[in-house]
């Protein structure tokens, strides 16, 4: 188990817990997708896996060691987290932004060695940003920008990648481009990945494991073929669907019929 959450309870401030008794485990190289309705607690779970939100009770383990026992930099050297919409600063080129990914590995003085720059170059070429690397990040299109954030995460040289809805605000072509890139990084680098997604069909297509988050709990988890069912989608998402089998990718494909929320 590279990443494991045990009996996780999460809350913001003094409000009642939004996530209750969540258990998750991710094996090396696994691609897990969290799906669930709005406000179900998916992003909250992800933030706590990233060590940004401290659990009110329960523990997240990275490589069998609780994340809160890691120093901030040590954690960032093993795990990268991309929030849903990072702020886009002006006046920074893609290459400069990607070089920030080396921050957890640098000494206090912040000197980048030639090895650090090699890693930056590799992250840029893996995300096919070489031609854009000297463009300012705020001049890029949404899909290119998302690839730049992925390159930033890759420059951290993480073992685990956490992504919060990386395809929101992108058109369908960029959505697939970004998802294919993530899947490609996941398989070629054996980079263990947890991603929050809204699109159930995309989740079924790319994930090894789907975990369904509903009202702060995990209602079901497992291989897409076992999890995505008419009954579950009716219970959790309140929609009536038809499920067919995608023979090319060997995964379920759902066709929404109507809302069950009356």
Partner 1 sequence: MLAEKKNISRRLLILLILLLMCVSGFIISLKLGSLNLSIGQIYAALFKIARGPHYQIIFNIRLPRILVGACVGICLSLSGCLLQGIMRNPLAAPHLIGVSSGAGLAGVVILILYPGIYYLLPPVAFTGALVTTMLVYMIAWQEGINPSRLILAGVAVSSFLGAMITGVMIFFPDRVHSVIGFMVGGLAARTWKHLNIILPYTLIGFFLVNLTARRLNILLLGDETASSLGVHVERTRLFFIALSALLAGSAVSVVGLLGFVGLIVPHITRLIIGSDYRFLLPASALMGASLVMVCDTISRIALDPVEVPVGIIMALLGAPFFLYLLRNRMKVYDTES
Residues facing 251 on adjacent strands: 246
Compare residues 73 and 115 and give the one whose CB is closer to partner 1.
73
User: 3-class SS at 181?
Assistant: helix
In sign, the C-alpha dihedral spanning 190, 156, 115, 143 is: positive
Beta carbon of residue 62, minimum distance to partner 1 (angstroms, whole number)? 13
Compare residues 86 and 225 and give the one whose CB is closer to partner 1.
86
Q: How many alpha carbons fall within 13 Å on the CB side of residue 216?
A: 12
Beta carbon of residue 3, minimum distance to partner 1 (angstroms, whole number)? 14
Compare residues 145 and 205 and give the one whose CB is closer to partner 1.
145
Beta carbon of residue 219, minimum distance to partner 1 (angstroms, whole number)? 26
Residue ranges that bind partner 1, judged by CB under 8 A: 13, 47, 50, 52, 72-73, 75-77, 79-83, 86-87, 89-93, 95-97, 100-101, 103-104, 109-110, 133-134, 138, 152, 156
In sign, the C-alpha dihedral spanning 32, 142, 200, 36 is: positive
Distance from C-alpha of 146 to C-alpha of 152, rounded to nearest angstrom: 10
Compare residues 57 and 138 and give the one whose CB is closer to partner 1.
138
Compare residues 47 and 205 and give the one whose CB is closer to partner 1.
47
- The torsion of the CA quartet 158, 62, 164, 252, rounded to 10 degrees, works out to 100
Tokens of 211: 């975990």
Beta carbon of residue 100, minimum distance to partner 1 (angstroms, whole number)? 5
Strand 192-196: give its sheet, edge to edge.
79-82, 160-164, 192-196, 31-35, 209-214, 217-222
Beta carbon of residue 4, minimum distance to partner 1 (angstroms, whole number)? 19
Distance from C-alpha of 55 to C-alpha of 48, rounded to nearest angstrom: 7
Beta carbon of residue 65, minimum distance to partner 1 (angstroms, whole number)? 16
Compare residues 96 and 219 and give the one whose CB is closer to partner 1.
96
Compare residues 17 and 225 and give the one whose CB is closer to partner 1.
17
Q: How many alpha carbons fall within 13 Å on the CB side of residue 64?
A: 1
Give yes or no for a contact between 150 and 169, defined as CB atoms under 8 angstroms apart: no
Beta carbon of residue 107, minimum distance to partner 1 (angstroms, whole number)? 11
């Amino acid at each position: 188990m590279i990443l494991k959450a045990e009996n996780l309870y999460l809350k913001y401030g003094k409000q009642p817990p939004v996530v209750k008794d969540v258990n998750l485990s991710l094996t090396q190289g696994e691609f897990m997708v969290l799906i669930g309705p709005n406000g179900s607690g998916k992003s909250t779970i992800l933030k706590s896996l990233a060590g940004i939100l401290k659990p009110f009770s329960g523990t997240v383990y990275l490589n069998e060691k609780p994340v809160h026992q890691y120093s901030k930099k040590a954690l960032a050297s093993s795990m990268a987290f991309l929030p849903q919409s990072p702020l886009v600063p002006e006046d920074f080129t893609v290459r400069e932004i990607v070089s920030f990914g080396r921050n957890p590995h640098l000494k206090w003085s912040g000197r980048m060695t030639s090895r650090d720059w090699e890693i930056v170059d590799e992250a840029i070429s893996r995300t096919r940003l070489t031609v854009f690397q000297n463009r300012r990040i705020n001049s890029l299109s949404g899909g290119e920008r998302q690839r730049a954030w992925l390159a930033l995460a890759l420059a951290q040289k993480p073992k685990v990648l956490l992504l919060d809805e990386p395809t929101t605000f992108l058109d369908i072509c960029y959505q697939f481009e970004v998802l294919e890139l993530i899947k490609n990084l996941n398989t070629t680098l054996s980079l263990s990945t947890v991603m929050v997604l809204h699109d159930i069909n995309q989740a079924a297509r790319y994930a090894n494991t789907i975990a369904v988050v509903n009202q702060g709990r995990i209602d079901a988890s497992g291989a897409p073929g076992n999890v995505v069912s008419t009954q579950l989608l009716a219970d959790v998402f309140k929609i009536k669907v038809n499920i067919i089998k995608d023979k090319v990718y060997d995964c379920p494909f759902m066709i929404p019929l109507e809302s069950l929320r009356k």
